[in-house]
């Protein structure tokens, strides 16, 4: 796209023309899932209407077309994140499944009793629980990199101190889904590799919103979900360095992931298919490729620039409201944060906030955002409300959100 135009982008998203509670829909829950452009929806329809067939097996035209579409989508993903080839791109259901695959498959083979596993205090449950289970199963120790004193980013001293324990694996998020903070995953990876650790990056909130290059980061594994980046639900990515994936056992076994099977033996298929047992999520995989095309056309740098602008605008507006607290870095540190703003209104439960937003046609999330330890134990809140932006959000929608907060304040006399 030569010139970034929110209005032009919006015209591609049918749902943005709908109403919620009689008001035009304002969708500010993009960290949970994104909306889908017509091009992605049409790709799904087109597959089912014109070339629905299983991949890798059929020796007929429409099966070849489906196979090409599915593999082509992986080529696009590989290029999008700077992977060497699609051999490093495993399709799974979502970020959660990608992290579980590493924790179970890699973890089982490499983590022993007494070993350390290192994560951070700002992780989503999907990057906590699989490691906690692994630690429990193996008798390993789960450590946490602490938040800094302002509870925005990671504490530099804590990173060094925890790495001194020589963890087997470091798993951390690139962008927090609560604080919005961007972690320097490249630097953490460099430091972790020096101590011999393997690094997994949870990129669920980064790959959809900014240019991410796995080779530049240097991480061993990276996980993200298509549904947060204009693609369908039910498809996600586990990127792994080829060597790491070659060494790993697949989580599931059966059809398609094997090359040969005899009554007494088997051999695995080549990467990436070794990790995809059974019939793949073909339609959603192909449509994911269309989502990548869409993001490339708009340009990831344009998307990041737009989100920075709208997030800064929102933070400045929220700053001017008495009784409202925002979390994470402020407007002056916009380079260090993504387009996620968690906030609290004095004495008002976030569920009441979300309900009033709903009555205004505004979709936001309220709760612990699947980061209970962070929200309840570090930020000491029962729950938080959250605005999260994407490429199709307008500044006028921020104004509507601010007006809704004023309404909440009025009703609850804050």
Active centre residues (catalytic):
370
Binding mask 121-140 for ligand PMP (x = CB under 6 A): ---x-xx-------------
Q: Where does residue 212 rank: exposed (0-12), middle (13-18), buried (19+ CB within 10 A)?
A: buried
139 by Cβ neighbours in 10 Å (0-12 / 13-18 / 19+) ranks as exposed
Contact between 376 and 368 under an 8 Å Cβ cutoff? The reply is yes
Whose Cβ is closer to ligand PMP: residue 107's or residue 180's? 180
Which CB atom, from 125 or from 309, has the smaller least distance to ligand PMP?
125
Residue 262 CB, shortest distance to ligand PMP, in Å, is: 37
Q: Which two tokens stand for residue 247?
A: 């060494």
Q: How far apart are CA 230 and CA 392, in angstroms?
A: 11
Of the pair 138, 209, the CB lying nearest ligand PMP is at: 209
Shortest gap between Cβ of 288 and ligand PMP (angstroms)? 13
202 binds ligand PMP (CB under 6 A): yes
- CA dist., res. 302 & res. 283, Å (int): 28
76 or 365: whose CB is closer to ligand PMP? 365
Q: In angstroms, give the least distance from the CB of 399 to ligand PMP.
A: 26
| Integer Cα distance of 133 and 119 in angstroms | 13
The tokens describing 363, both together, are 């979709």
The site string for ligand PMP over 67-106 (x = CB under 6 A, - otherwise) reads ---------------------------xxx----------
Considering the complex, state which of residue 323 and residue 373 has its C-beta at the smaller distance from ligand PMP.
373
Site size for ligand PMP, by CB under 6 A? 15
Q: Of the candidates 55, 90, 134, 204, which one interacts with ligand PMP according to CB under 6 A?
A: 204
Residues engaged in binding ligand PMP (CB under 6 A) = 31, 94-96, 124, 126-127, 173, 177, 202, 204-205, 225, 236, 370
């Amino acid at each position: 796209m030569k010139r970034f135009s929110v209005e032009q982008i919006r015209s591609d998203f049918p749902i943005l023309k709908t109403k919620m509670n009689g008001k035009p829909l304002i969708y500010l829950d993009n960290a949970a899932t994104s909306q889908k452009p017509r091009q992605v929806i049409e790709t799904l329809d087109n597959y089912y209407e014109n070339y629905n067939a299983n991949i890798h097996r059929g020796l007929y035209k429409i099966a070849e077309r489906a196979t090409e579409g599915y593999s082509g989508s992986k080529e696009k993903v590989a290029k999008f994140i700077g992977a060497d080839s699609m051999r490093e791109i495993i399709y799974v259901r979502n970020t959660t499944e990608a992290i579980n695959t590493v924790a179970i498959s890699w973890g089982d083979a490499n983590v022993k009793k007494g070993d350390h596993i290192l994560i951070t205090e700002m992780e989503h449950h999907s990057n906590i629980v699989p490691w906690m289970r692994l630690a429990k199963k193996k008798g390993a120790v789960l450590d946490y990199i602490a938040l800094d004193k302002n509870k925005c980013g990671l504490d530099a001293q804590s990173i060094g101190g925890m790495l001194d324990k020589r963890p087997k694996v470091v798993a951390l998020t690139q962008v927090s889904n609560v604080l919005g903070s961007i972690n320097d995953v490249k630097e953490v990876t460099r430091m972790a590799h020096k101590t011999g650790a393997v690094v997994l990056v949870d990129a669920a909130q980064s790959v959809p919103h900014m240019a991410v290059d796995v080779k530049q980061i240097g991480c061993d594994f990276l996980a993200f979900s298509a549904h947060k980046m204009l693609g369908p639900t039910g498809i996600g990515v586990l990127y792994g360095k080829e060597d790491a994936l070659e060494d790993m056992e697949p989580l599931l076994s059966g059809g398609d992931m094997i090359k040969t099977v005899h009554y007494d033996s088997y051999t695995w298929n080549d990467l990436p298919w070794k990790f995809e047992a059974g019939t793949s999520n073909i339609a959603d995989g192909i449509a994911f490729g269309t989502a990548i095309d869409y993001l490339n056309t708009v340009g990831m740098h344009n998307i990041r620039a737009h989100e920075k602008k709208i997030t800064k605008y929102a933070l400045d507006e929220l700053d001017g409201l008495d009784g409202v607290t925002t979390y994470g870095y402020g407007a002056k540190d916009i380079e260090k944060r993504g387009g996620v703003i968690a906030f609290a209104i004095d004495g008002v439960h976030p569920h009441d906030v979300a309900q009033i937003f709903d009555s205004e046609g505004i979709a936001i999330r309220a709760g612990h955002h699947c980061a209970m330890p962070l929200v309840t134990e570090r930020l000491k809140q029962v729950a938080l409300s959250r605005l999260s932006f994407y490429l199709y959000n307008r500044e006028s929608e921020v104004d509507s959100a601010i007006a809704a907060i004023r309404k909440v304040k009025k009703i609850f006399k804050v």
